[in-house]
Amino acid sequence: MTAPLIELRHIGKSFAAVRALDDVSLSIGRGEIHCLAGENGSGKSTLIKVISGIWQPDQGEILMDGQKMEGLTPRSAIAHGVQVIYQDFSLFPNLSVAENLALSSELHEGRKLVSWRRVRQIAAEAIAKLGVDLDLDALVETLPTAGKQLVAIARALMSDPHLLIMDEPTTALTGREVEALFRVVRDIQGRGIAVLFVSHKMREMLEISERLTVIRSGRVVAAGPISEFDEARITRAMTGQEIAAEGYRWTGDPRGKPLLEVAALSIPGQLENIALRIMPGEIVGVSGLLGSGRTELALALFGMKPGYEGRVRIDGREVRLDSVQEAIGHGIAYVPEDRLTEGLFLTQTIDRNMLVTSHDRLSRGGIMQGGRAAREAAEMIREMAIATPTGDRPVTQLSGGNQQRVVIGRWLLNDPRLLILNGPTVGVDVGSKAGIHRKIRELAQSRGLGVLMISDDLPELMDNCNRILVLHRGRLVSDTPAAETNEAKLSELLGALA
Amino acid sequence: MKSLALTLRRHPEWMVAAVLVVAVLTIGLINPVFWQPANIFSLLRASVITGILALAVLLVMLSGGIDVSFPAFAIAAMYLTVKAMIAWGFDGVLLPFAMATAIGIGLGLVNAVFVHHLRMIPLIVTLGTGTAVRGFILGVVGTSQINIDQMPPLLIDFARQDLFTVTQGDGSAAGLSAMVLVYAVIALGVHLMLRHTMMGRSIYALGGGEEAARRVGFNTRRTTFFIYGLAGALAGFAGLLHGAMIWTANPRDMVGLELDVIAAVVLGGASIFGGRGSVIGTMLGVLTLVVITNSLIILGVDTTWQRVVVGLIVIAATAVTAWRDRKRIA
C-alpha cells in the first residue's frame, strides 16, 4: 500500500489556555476529495493553518508522501504541493485578472522586471488549464464572487499542487455557481490532485466528498468513507447533540392577538407579496438561499426599506416603518448579520456599546443620567452572562459569542416587542452558541418577545424555532411548524430551489 | 453610467485629461493672454516642484497610506544643504543634490520604521515626523532666510537654464526652464519602476491588500521601506531644486503645500484607499491644478481665492474617486 499524500498523526495545538486541536489524526490520499466538516469554532481553520505551515503543532507529526515534516513553514508546504484557497480568496481587487494570476509565479522565479507579454501568457495558460473563460484584462474587483473564486483556483493550480485546500468555498455562491464549482473540483480531482473541502453544509459534503472527517471542539469525532454517513449522523457529530434535542415549543394561544402581522409586503425586485404573522413568544425561523430576500425582509421590518408596499400591523395597530427611528419606536430590534461592521463600535467599551440605543430613554433634558445608565448596563451584563469583570473593557476583548450577547443585550434594554436576529451565531464558538440559543428561548418564553431568526444553519433553526419560513426569490414558499418538518426535508426543499 | 464607471476605474487619466482640456479652453477663451508662450512656459515651470512632490505622494498613496511630511522633509533637506554649502564654502550641483536626496531618504526611512514596525497609521506618523522636522530645523538649524546674495551661484545657474527660448509677438523673449526636463526624467523613471518592475507591482499589491500581498510572498517590509525611502528622496531633491529655482532658502517655506500636492494626486485619479493611480494621471492632475490656480490671476480673480479653489478641487476629486470606488467600500 502506498503512503497517503498527507497524514496527520495526533496533532495538538493550543492558544493560551484554549485547546484548539486535540489529538487530531487525518489522512488524505492522492486524488481524493476529502471533506473536513465542523461548526464555526470547531478547529477547522486551525487545522488548515497547521497543514499549510502557518502554525506549528505543539504535539504530533505531519507526514507528506510518507516522509516526516519537521518545522513546516508556508513556503515548504507550498513546495510540497499544498495550496490553500482562503475564504477571502487573497486576491488583489485593484489588479487585472492576468496580473493576479501571474504575480506569484513571477515572484517565486525571483524576477525583478515585469514583462506584460509574459504576464498575459502565463495567465492565459492558467485559465486554459482550468478550462474556463475569463477576461484577462478585467479588474478582479469587477468580477462576481464566482469569478473571483475561479481566479483563485486557477492561481492555486498554477504551481501543480498535490493538495488543494478550499476553505468554505460555497459560502457566497448561488446554487448554480455551486454546481459549476463542483464540476471544477471533480475535474481537478481527475488530474490526481487531492482536494480538502472545508464546509459545514450537509448537502454539499454528501454530494462532493469521498471521505469525511468531522471535528468538534478540536477533536475528530467521526471519520470514514462518505457512504457511512447521512445527514443525521453528520449533524450529530458536528453538534454533539442528539437530533432528539428538544425543539422550541410555543405554548401561547393561537387565537390571541398577533404581535406582528404583515400583509402583501412587496418591494419591487426584492420582496413579493409576503404575508406572515408572529405571535408573542414565538420564535420564527427564516431560511432561504443567498439572495432569497430574507435580509431584505428583516431590513424592511426595521424601517430600512422606506416606501415598501403592503401593510404592517403591530399589536393589531397599523403602522408604517419608513425609518429606523419609527421601527425602534414600535419596539422592533435588529441584530445584523455582520456585527463587527454593522452592530458594534469596536473601539468603545462594553457599556457604551450596550447603552448606545438607550440614550434617549436614559437622559433627562439632553443629559445622560450616568448612575442609572451604569446600573442598567451592569444588570444587563449579568443577565446576558457576558464574560467580563467590568463593563469598561473594550468590546474587542470579548469573544464572538460574548460580542453577540452585547448586541442582543443592547436591544433588550429598550424592552423590544420583536427581535430580529440575522445569523445570530455566525462566527460564534459551539459552547457559546448553545448559551445564546438558551437565552433567546428564555426571552421569548418569559417576556413574550417575538423573535424572527434568520439563519443558514438549519440545525439552529430546527432546534430553536417553533415555525420555519422559507423564502425564495423574494417570495414566501413555505411556512411550516417546526414539529412537522425536519432538517432533511428543509434542506431538500432548499436544494430543489437552488 | 455603468460603462463610464468602468472606463474611469480602468483609465482614470481620461477624467483628469478632460478636466484639463476644459479648463485650458475656458481660461484661454476668457483671456487669450493665456496662450502666450511666456504664460505656458511659466505654468510648466510652476508644475515642476509640485509634480516631483506629487510623485512622492503617489507612491505612498498607492500603498494605501498618505504622506503629509514631505514639505517639511523637502525644506529640511534644502535648508540643511544650503547651510552646509555656505558653512563649508562649497559650490556645485551634483553633490548638493546628492546630499539633499540622502537627507530625504533618511527622513523617509524614519516614516517607514513607524509605519511598518509599529503598525501606525501613515497620516499620524507623517503629521508627527513632519511637524517635528520643521520644529527641529527652526529651533536648531536656524530661522533666517538665505537670500540670493548668499545662495551658492552654481546652484542658481543650474536652475536658471532654459531648454530653448522663443520670441513673442511683442518682441520679448520667453524661455522654457530646463527643470521641466528634470521633472520629466524623474517622472519617466517612477513610471517605469511602477509599471515594469516587481518592486513597482508590489506597491500596487500592498495597496490592494496587505495580507494578500504577504500570502503571495511579497516582502512587505522591503516594499514599505522602499516606498517611504523613495518618497523621502523625491522630497529632498525637490526641496533643493525649489530653493535653487526661487533663489532663496527659506526654512518657513512650503507651509500648507501638502494639501495642494495631495489635491493634484487625487485629481489625477489615485485612490485614497490605495492600489489605484498612475504617473500619467498624477502629472495631468498637477498640471490641471497649476493651470487653474495660476490662471486666477489672469482671470482677474483675487489670489486669496486660490485656497478656496484648491479646497474645492480636493473635495470634487475625492468625490469622483469615491463614487468610482464605492463598490469596493460597500
Q: Tell whether A128 and A267 lie within a shared domain.
A: no
Average pLDDT rounded to a whole number, residues A175-196 = 87
Q: Tell whether A289 and A419 lie within a shared domain.
A: yes
Average pLDDT rounded to a whole number, residues A301-328 = 90
Q: Tell whether A314 and A171 lie within a shared domain.
A: no
Q: Tell whether A199 and A265 lie within a shared domain.
A: no
pLDDT at A453 over 90: yes
Domain extent for A52: 6-239
Q: Tell whether A223 and A336 lie within a shared domain.
A: no
Q: Tell whether A379 and A297 lie within a shared domain.
A: yes
- Quick check: is A1 in a domain? no
> What is the model's pLDDT at position A244?
45
What is the three-class DSSP state of A431?
Answer: helix
Pick from A188-202, B27-41, B75-89, B105-119: least confident: A188-202
Question: For a pLDDT cut of 70, what percent of chain A falls above it?
Answer: 95
Cβ-count burial A425-448 (b if 16+ within 10 Å, e if not): bbbbbbebbbbbbebbbebbbeee
Helices (H), A69-174: 74-79, 97-108, 116-130, 145-157
> What is the model's pLDDT at position A339?
65
Pick from A85-99, B71-85, B291-305: least confident: B291-305
The answer to whether A39 and A433 have CB atoms below 8 angstroms apart is: yes
Contact list in B for residue A95 (CB cut-off 8 A) is 204-205, 208, 275
Q: For chain B, say whether A104 makes contact (Cβ under 8 Å).
A: yes
Select from B197, B218, B276 the Cβ nearest to the Cβ of A113. Answer: B197
- Quick check: is A255 in a domain? no
Neighbours of B221 (CB within 10 A): 12
Mean pLDDT of chain B: 90
The residue of chain A with its CA nearest to that of B208 is A92
The residue of chain A with its CA nearest to that of B3 is A142
Pick from A228-237, A443-452, B74-83: least confident: A228-237
pLDDT at B330 over 50: no
Residues 172-201 of B with CB under 8 A from A: 195-201
Radius of gyration of chain A (CA): 25
pLDDT at A426 over 90: no
> What is the model's pLDDT at position B323?
76
Average pLDDT rounded to a whole number, residues A155-162 = 88
The residue of chain A with its CA nearest to that of B64 is A94
Q: Tell whether A43 and A189 lie within a shared domain.
A: yes
Select from B198, B212, B275 the Cβ nearest to the Cβ of A114. Answer: B198
Q: Rounded to a whole number, what is the largest CA-CA distance in chain B?
A: 64
Pick from A103-112, A305-314, A470-479: least confident: A103-112
Q: For chain B, say whether A204 makes contact (Cβ under 8 Å).
A: no
Contact list in A for residue B274 (CB cut-off 8 A) is 94
pLDDT at B231 over 70: yes
Beta strand segments in A304-462, E: 309-314, 317-319, 332-335, 363-364, 367-368, 418-422, 450-454
- Quick check: is A358 in a domain? yes
Of A54, A84, A103, which to mutate for an interface test with B (greatest number of B Cβ within 10 Å)?
A103
Distance CA B177, CA B192 (A): 24
- Quick check: is A21 in a domain? yes
Among residues A81, A83, A78, A89, which one has the least CA distance to residue A150? A89
Number of domains in chain A: 2
> What is the model's pLDDT at position A109?
84
> What is the model's pLDDT at position A367?
81
Select from B199, B217, B276 the Cβ nearest to the Cβ of A94. Answer: B276
The answer to whether A388 and A402 have CB atoms below 8 angstroms apart is: yes
Q: Tell whether A98 and A137 lie within a shared domain.
A: yes
Question: For a pLDDT cut of 90, what percent of chain A falls above it?
Answer: 21
Select from A75, A92, A113 the Cβ nearest to the Cβ of B208. Answer: A92
The answer to whether B213 and B202 have CB atoms below 8 angstroms apart is: yes
Q: For chain B, say whether A144 makes contact (Cβ under 8 Å).
A: no
pLDDT tier, B154 (very low <50, low <70, confident <90, very high otherwise): very high
Q: Tell whether A283 and A429 lie within a shared domain.
A: yes
H/E stretch holding A273: strand A271-278
Pick from A241-255, B241-255, B300-314: least confident: A241-255
- Grid cell locating A109: 522565479
pLDDT at A262 over 60: yes
- Quick check: is A73 in a domain? yes
Q: pLDDT tens-digit profile of B281-307?
A: 999 999 999 998 888 888 888 878 888
The residue count of chain B comes to 330
Pick from A264-273, A366-375, B225-234: least confident: A366-375
Q: pLDDT tens-digit profile of B94-124?
A: 999 999 999 999 999 999 999 999 888 999 9
pLDDT tier, B1 (very low <50, low <70, confident <90, very high otherwise): very low
Task: Read off the CATH number of the domain in which A473 is found.
Answer: 3.40.50.300
Select from B6, B195, B218 the Cβ nearest to the Cβ of A142. Answer: B6
Pick from A204-208, B175-179, B208-212: least confident: A204-208
- Quick check: is A300 in a domain? yes
> What is the model's pLDDT at position A404?
81
H/E stretch holding A22: strand A18-28
Radius of gyration of chain B (CA): 20
Q: Which residue has the higher pLDDT, A40 or A99?
A: A99
Mean pLDDT of chain A: 85
Q: Do B211 and A107 touch (CB under 8 A)?
A: no
H/E stretch holding A9: strand A6-15
Q: Tell whether A95 and A198 lie within a shared domain.
A: yes
- Quick check: is A254 in a domain? no
Q: Tell whether A235 and A269 lie within a shared domain.
A: no
- Quick check: is A97 in a domain? yes
Q: For chain B, say whether A139 makes contact (Cβ under 8 Å).
A: yes
- Grid cell locating A491: 434542506
Of B3, B7, B201, B204, which to mutate for an interface test with A (greatest number of A Cβ within 10 Å)?
B201
Q: Tell whether A448 and A350 lie within a shared domain.
A: yes
Of A88, A94, A142, A342, which to mutate for an interface test with B (greatest number of B Cβ within 10 Å)?
A94
> What is the model's pLDDT at position A498?
67
> What is the model's pLDDT at position A40?
66
pLDDT tier, A429 (very low <50, low <70, confident <90, very high otherwise): low
